[in-house]
């Protein structure tokens, strides 16, 4: 599990780093494309301004030429008026023509002045855009430097994580080796358990045969007593072990039948106080009924589980190997027992 978590964390970190690098590259590419577009647009506007300035200069020259022509026309008109004073009618007509020409020229000059003002406004907009472009270029340079620093930091972090990855791989190999050794040990323990069960069945059969030689007074024969006493280890065990003996001592016993008790061992009565075993983590209603069927009904019985008891319970209720240790039934039973009988324990201590 630790190895999987480490691998997942490593993959997430690598994915984050690759995502950041890809984002930075895409952002940099987009910024450079925007810069090229802005520069191209600026160049286009500068060309428009130059053309506009050329037009303005040409218009100014046209205005000067028109003014110069108007002055020449006025002078020529005055000369003609002087020359053509006898011809007043023609003079009036010429004055009207001059006035018309003057009004048209003034109108043209007004239009040119308006165009010049619009060109000046456009020049101001271009200057403002140049300022904005310069500010954007400064921001882009700052962002590029920040991204470069981030890439440098990420590269340094990757370099720091490489030894951790090597350590995780080493731990993974060690765990695999330990798992192989654990499987070997489990196989050996299984063989030993089978041998113990075979020996226990043999001793049970021997005890049954010895019990057949009891006298009418109900006393065991000396041979039976010697047979029972020759296996003192069969009488040693915690309360849950004795409660489970009738169920898991002989896995070959048919369902619904209980093996005969040992000649000198009497079944342990179930405790009078039945605890709610569902308060222990990992024990549900179904598991509680199975444990009650095995004679385990109290927190104290589970608190006193030995390694053999856990193996017998595991084999009897067909749970996953190691579930009792993984869910910490013993620790949960101890906490539940202390919580339920706290006042009783304090009273007994006093």
Q: What is the pLDDT of residues 213-264, one digit of tens each?
A: 433 333 343 333 333 333 333 333 334 334 444 333 333 333 333 333 333 3
pLDDT-derived band at 319 (thresholds 50, 70, 90) equals low
Count how many domains the chain has: 2
The CATH number that applies at residue 151 is 1.10.287
Asked if the structure places residue 280 within a domain, the reply is: yes
What pTM does this model have?
Answer: 0.27
17 and 134: one domain?
A: yes
* Cβ-based neighbours of 115, under 8 Å, separated by 6 or more: 55, 56, 59
Report the pLDDT value the prediction gives residue 349, as an integer from 0 to 100.
59
Which among 122, 145, 165 is the end of a domain? 165
In a domain, 180, yes or no: no
CA proximity to 45, closest of 101, 127, 118: 127
Confidence of residue 350 (pLDDT cuts 50, 70, 90): low
Evaluate whether residue 121 is within a structural domain. yes
So what's the pLDDT on residue 270? 43
Q: Is 80 exceeded by the pLDDT of residue 315?
A: yes
Contacts of 304 (CB under 8 A, 6+ apart): 238, 239, 240
Q: What's the pLDDT score for residue 8?
A: 92
18 and 156 together in one domain: yes
pLDDT per position as a tens digit, 105-147? 898 999 888 888 888 888 888 788 888 888 888 888 888 888 7
**Of 323, 316, 274, residue with least CA distance to 299:** 274
pLDDT band for position 303 (cuts 50, 70, 90): very high
Residue 280 sits in which domain range? 234-349
Average pLDDT over residues 307-316: 88
**pLDDT value, residue 320:** 66
Q: Which of 87-91, 212-216, 286-290 has the highest mean pLDDT?
A: 286-290
In degrees, rounded to 5, the angle at the alpha carbon of residue 321 between the alpha carbons of residues 319 and 325 is 100
**Domain contains 217:** no
Is position 175 within any domain? no
Question: Residue 35 pLDDT more than 60?
Answer: yes
Nearest to 240 by CA among 311, 177, 192, 165: 311
Is 305 a member of any domain?
A: yes
- The rounded mean pLDDT for the chain is 76
Write down which residue in 124, 149, 165 finishes a domain. Answer: 165
In contact, 314 and 323? CB cutoff 8 Å: yes
Q: Are 118 and 252 members of one domain? A: no
pLDDT in tens, 107-117: 899 988 888 88
Instruction: Give, as one character, the DSSP assignment of residue 216.
Output: T
> pLDDT value at position 15?
92
């Amino acid at each position: 599990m630790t190895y999987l978590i480490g691998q997942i964390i490593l993959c997430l970190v690598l994915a984050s780093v690759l995502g950041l690098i890809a984002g930075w590259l895409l952002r940099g590419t987009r910024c450079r494309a925007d810069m090229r577009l802005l520069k191209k647009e600026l160049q286009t506007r500068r060309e428009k301004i130059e053309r506009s300035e050329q037009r303005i200069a040409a218009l100014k020259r046209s205005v000067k030429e028109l003014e110069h022509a108007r002055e020449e026309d006025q002078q020529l008109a005055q000369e003609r008026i002087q020359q053509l004073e006898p011809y007043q009618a023609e003079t009036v007509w010429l004055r009207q023509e001059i006035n018309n020409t003057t009004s048209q020229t003034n109108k043209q000059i007004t239009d040119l002045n308006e165009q010049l003002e619009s060109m000046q406004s456009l020049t101001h907009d271009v200057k403002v855009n140049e300022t904005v472009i310069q500010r954007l270029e400064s921001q882009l340079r700052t962002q590029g430097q920040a991204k470069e620093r981030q890439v440098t930091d990420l590269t340094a972090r990757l370099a720091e994580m490489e030894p951790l990855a090597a350590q995780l791989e080493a731990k993974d190999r060690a765990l695999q080796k330990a798992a192989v050794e654990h499987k070997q040990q489990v196989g050996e323990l299984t063989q030993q358990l089978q041998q113990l069960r075979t020996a226990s069945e043999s001793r049970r059969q021997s005890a049954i045969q010895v019990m057949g030689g009891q006298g009418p007074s109900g006393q065991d024969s000396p041979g039976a007593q010697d047979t029972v006493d020759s296996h003192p280890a069969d009488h040693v065990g915690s309360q849950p072990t004795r409660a489970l003996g009738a169920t898991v001592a002989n896995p070959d016993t048919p369902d619904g039948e209980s093996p005969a008790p040992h000649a000198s061992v009497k079944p342990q009565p179930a405790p009078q106080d039945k605890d709610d075993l569902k308060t222990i983590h990992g024990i549900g209603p179904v598991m509680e009924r199975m444990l009650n069927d095995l004679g385990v009904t109290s927190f104290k019985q589970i608190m006193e589980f030995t390694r053999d008891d856990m193996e017998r319970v595991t084999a009897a209720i067909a749970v996953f190997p190691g579930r009792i240790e993984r869910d910490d039934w013993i620790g949960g039973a101890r906490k539940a027992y202390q919580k339920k009988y706290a006042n009783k324990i304090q009273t007994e201590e006093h």
